[in-house]
Amino acid sequence: MSRPLGSLQRPLRKIGTAMLVLLCLLLVNLAYTQVIKASDYSSNPLNRRTQLADFNRQRGQISAAGGVVLASSVPSDDQFRYQRSYPRGAAFANLTGYLSLRYGKTGLESSQNALLSGDDPELTVTNLSDLVTGRDPRGANVELTVVPKLQQVAYDQLASKNLTGAVVALQPKTGAVLAMVTSPSFNPNPLASHSTDTQREAYNKLREALTTTAPDPTVNRAIESVYPPGSTFKLVVSAAALQNGFTPNSAVTGVNRITLPGTGGATLSNYGGETCANRGGSDVTLTQALAHSCNTAFAEVAMKVGAAKLKEQAASFGVGESASIAGLPGAASRVGDMPDQAAVAQSGIGQRDVAFSPMQNAEVVASIANAGQRMQPYLVSRVTKPDLSLLSSTEPTSMGQAVPTEIAGQIRDMMRESEKSLQSSLGQQQFAQYDIASKTGTAEHGSNPKTTPPHAWYVAFAPATDPQIAVAVFVANGGDRGLSATGASVAGPVGHAVIAAALGGG
């Protein structure tokens, strides 16, 4: 039998070749996609695989001073190898943040991710050897300066009374953050759950605040928000005044009300309309004015010092710099423009456009406590490799002299008087043993300050002669006292408790 098919064989061969060419084109394109574009695609933030990988490898742990674990990856037997856990919960949630499959990462989980996940270039050598030895790549451990006991006490102080606020405690000599608390907070554990429903439920609860008037638990008030500092700003004014002709004993006005220049009769009065230290309006010393937080006196002092010197002094305390720390987002504090004398007077008592973060206020007192030298606050004390060998550690950094040492000493003594006045007004003597130097603040805010509960502040350091801790307490909207709230009555006790916890031993 013959094969009359010669005519088909040639085209078949050609089609066969064309077919192979088509399939080869696929291979070329695959090589392009999987080799040249591979890292673009695999590291694209929209690619959920990198995020999922976080749940399948041993992420480094976040710990506080003394090795107390704040966040760790524990082996899990469900669809992921590890479960991220936050044993200390809400009190530390503003630091740790959370690592959620659906909702991403926040806090240090996000800002320190490269180290924690092990992707940091400094860790690649370790991880390469892990690859060779067949061990899963692990992340580095981040150790914080935070003292768990202080953080917990501060958080409990705020949370137990449902206060909205923040506490920042610094070690004056180094700038190490001893506590950084915000309230209300949230429990990060359900957000890290491997169950989609649990995550969703927890996340929706977090977001509830956005649609109601309830305070947002995701805001880290210690560094992310700025508020009028009220009378605590008088420390900055004092620092500027003492360098410009004033002494602690300089006579300042003791009247209950002054008229602001150039406003056509607007007045500025003392708290409750009282004369300074209830002395009938006669002159008082600067020390007395600070101890009794007399507004008229500091308004006049501020006007005498002038806007330029006030701004300069504020800047040397760090005002204007972002409060961001360890990659956690922070806001910059400000003193405002102070365009005229009336503005300077109002700014002099920490109102008008002056706005401080609790961290900023803590830096002011820490600098005064540290003989005028401002230290850069830091949160991460050291980073260790997966095998616990040291990768890096933080050395305290000086940001320069905020006030001369001598003047810092004068302010310190004035603050001791202020604390004495506070303790007598509270009728509490049990804190005298700690030798506290402090200043309270009661800041008006809102469109109608008379009907809006004021913000309460308390800034302090102790012991005054050898400062171990500087603390700033902020309680928003009168805390649990409403319109009658003062810094002394609302924020003071919180600060006292933190200082007692820090110095009380035990």
Partner 1 sequence: MKQRTGRAAEIGLLTFAAVIVSCALIIVELNQDQQLSWDLAWYGGGYLLALLITHLLVRWLAPYADPVLMPVAALLNGLGLVMIHRLDLADVARAKAGGDPTGALEAPLQLMWTAVALGLFLLVLLVVRDHTKLQNYAYTLALAGVVFLAIPAILPARYSAVNGAKIWIKIPGLFSIQPSEFAKIALIIFCAAFLSSRVGVLGQAGKRFLGLTLPRMRDLGPLALVLVIALGILVRGNDLGTSLLLFGIVLVMLYLATSRISWVIICLLAFGAGCVLMYQLFPHFKVRVDIWLHPFADPSGSSYQLVQSLFGLGTGGIFGTGLGAGRPDLVPFASTDFITAAFGEELGLVGLTVIIVLYMLLTSRGIRTGIAARDKFGALLAGGLAFSIALQVFIIVGGVTRLIPLTGLTTPFLSYGGSSLLANYMILALLVRISDSSRRPPPPPPVLGASSADDAAGAGGTGGPGGSGPDGSGPGSSGETGRVRLGKPQQLGEVHTQMLTVPGRRGRDGGQASAGKGKDAGRGTGNGRGSER
Contacts to partner 1 by CB under 8 A? 1-13, 15-16, 18-20, 22-23, 25-27, 29-31, 33-35, 37-42, 44, 46-49, 52, 78-79, 194-197
* Spatial contact of 152 and 129, defined as CB atoms under 8 Å apart: no
Closest approach of partner 1 to the CB of residue 21, in Å: 10
Nearest 10 degrees: Cα torsion 94, 90, 443, 413: -80
170 token code pair? 């610094």
User: Other CB atoms closer than 10 Å to residue 193's CB: what's the count?
Assistant: 18
Question: Is residue 318 within 8 Å of 293, Cβ to Cβ?
Answer: no
For residue 52, the minimal CB distance to partner 1 (Å) is 6
| Shortest distance in whole angstroms from residue 31 CB to partner 1 | 6
Residue 184, preceding bond cis, omega within 30 degrees?
A: yes
Is the CB of residue 321 less than 8 Å from the CB of residue 332? yes
Written as one string, the DSSP assignment of 354-406 is: -BB-HHHHHHHHHHHHTTTEEEPPB-EEEEE-TTS-EEEEPPP-EEEESS-HH
Kindly list the distances between the CA atom of residue 96 and the CA atoms of 62, 332, 459, in Å, as whole numbers in the listed order: 7, 22, 25
DSSP string, 216-281: PTT--HHHH--B--GGGGHHHHHHHHHTTT--TT-EE---SEEEPTTTTS-EEE-GGGPPGGGSTT
257-259/267-269 β-pairing = antiparallel
To 10 degrees, the CA torsion angle through 315, 318, 324, 330? Answer: -60
Residue among 117, 231, 316, 347 flagged as catalytic: 231
* Residues 238/304, Cβ–Cβ less than 8 Å: no
How far, in Å, CA of 269 to CA of 255, rounded?
Answer: 8
Nearer to partner 1, 76 or 468 (CB): 76
Q: For residue 79, how many other CB atoms are within 10 A of its CB?
A: 9
- Cβ-contact 473, 491 below 8 angstroms: yes
Q: Is 231 a catalytic residue?
A: yes
Q: Which is nearer to partner 1, 83 or 244 (CB)?
A: 83
Q: Considering only CA atoms, which of 249, 245, 255, 257 is closest in space to residue 277?
A: 255
- Please identify which residue in the block is written with the tokens 């040492």: 405
Could you tell me the smallest distance in angstroms from the CB atom of residue 219 to partner 1? 27
CB 189 → partner 1: shortest distance, Å? 16
* Distant-in-sequence contacts of 274-283, Cβ < 8 A, 24+ apart: 279/254, 280/254, 281/254, 281/255, 281/256, 282/254, 283/251, 283/252, 283/253, 283/254
Report the candidate in 445, 497, 491 with the shortest Cα–Cα distance to residue 472.
491
Residue with Cβ nearer partner 1 (43 or 393): 43
Residue 124 vs 196, nearer CB to partner 1: 196
Beta carbon of residue 138, minimum distance to partner 1 (angstroms, whole number)? 17
Q: Which is nearer to partner 1, 50 or 324 (CB)?
A: 50
Taking the least distance from each CB to partner 1, the nearer of 56 and 324 is: 56
Q: What minimum distance in Å lies between the beta carbon of 204 and partner 1?
A: 15
Contact 399, 154 (CB under 8 A): no
366: how many CB neighbours lie within 10 A of its CB? 31
Q: How far is the CB of 37 from partner 1 (least distance, A)?
A: 6
* Identity of the residue, 9 or 124, whose beta carbon is nearer to partner 1 in the bound complex: 9
Nearer CB in complex with partner 1: 24/432: 24
> Quick one: 196 or 278, whose CB is closer to partner 1?
196
Q: Cβ of residue 97: shortest distance to partner 1, in angstroms?
A: 22
Active site residues: 231
